[in-house]
A and B are shown apart, each in its own frame.
Chain A
Amino acid sequence: EAGVAQSPRYKIIEKRQSVAFWCNPISGHATLYWYQQILGQGPKLLIQFQNNGVVDDSQLPKDRFSAERLKGVDSTLKIQPAKLEDSAVYLCASSSVPTRGQFFGPGTRLTVL
């Protein structure tokens, strides 16, 4: 069974530029999550999808971040414009039964200069 795929793996941009991340979850997993993980901290949930509907986006900075999951499969997360404090690892995860845990992709390390 293929795992969660993410791209790109690394991205370096300057502040005020835009960037987009892509995620393809494990086949059949209805729930998809985007997390932000800053060095030394636990992952912080940005947005959670159930199929193509948003379950929770309470911690998504909506003035600059947006996410979509068209057709209930893969998803994109966009930041526009980026700030220095957005430097972090962006993790995508998926699950079939959320109460039994999530499976993470390799993450995208974003550096904003």
Chain B
Amino acid sequence: QKEVEQNSGPLSVPEGAIASLNCTYSDRGSQSFFWYRQYSGKSPELIMFIYSNGDKEDGRFTAQLNKASQYVSLLIRDSQPSDSATYLCAVWETSYDKVIFGPGTSLSVIP
């Protein structure tokens, strides 16, 4: 089973700033990549998925994928205190036909 790694965190950013969350994966055959948000005591919620190189934007969120570098990131623009949560990166590993989750990065947006 391959690995999915994320910044250890916690990551603190001031309100209104850009939060950058990073994720690397080891299975070169991976095809789909996901970002989930998990509030404390709640279950993960799908924010975005991406499977093509480049950027995918949805409101204040932008996912960036670079398959050559095996790197996927999530940018949150105009960060709000309500964005404070743990962000989980997940990768669909084609070799194993299943999703592997990273350990998550805790984000704190300071008012």
- Is the beta-carbon distance between A99 and B97 smaller than 8 angstroms? no
- Is the beta-carbon distance between B88 and A56 smaller than 8 angstroms? no
B-binding segment of A60-68, A80-88, A104-112: A104-112
Query: How many inter-chain contacts with C-beta < 8 Å in the A-B complex?
Result: 49
* A interface residues, tally (CB under 8 Å): 22
User: Interface residue tally of chain B, by bracket?
Assistant: 20 to 34
Partner of B101, one of A40, A42, A55: A42
- Is the beta-carbon distance between A98 and B92 smaller than 8 angstroms? yes
Nearest residue (CB) in A for B92 is: A99
* Given contact pairs A42-B88, A99-B32, A99-B51, A104 touches B99 in the complex (Cβ within 8 A): no
Nearest residue (CB) in A for B103 is: A42
* Given contact pairs A42-B88, A107-B43, A102 touches B102 in the complex (Cβ within 8 A): no
Residues in chain A near residue B96, CB distance under 8 A: 56
- The interface bits of chain B over 81-106 (1 if a CB of A lies within 8 angstroms of the residue's CB, else 0) are 00000001010100011111111100
B61 at the A/B interface (Cβ < 8 Å)? no
B44 at the A/B interface (Cβ < 8 Å)? yes
Residues in chain A near residue B88, CB distance under 8 A: 42-43
Partner of A56, one of B4, B31, B42, B98: B98
- Give the docked Cα–Cα distance between A113 and B101 (Å): 28
A45 at the A/B interface (Cβ < 8 Å)? yes
B55 at the A/B interface (Cβ < 8 Å)? no
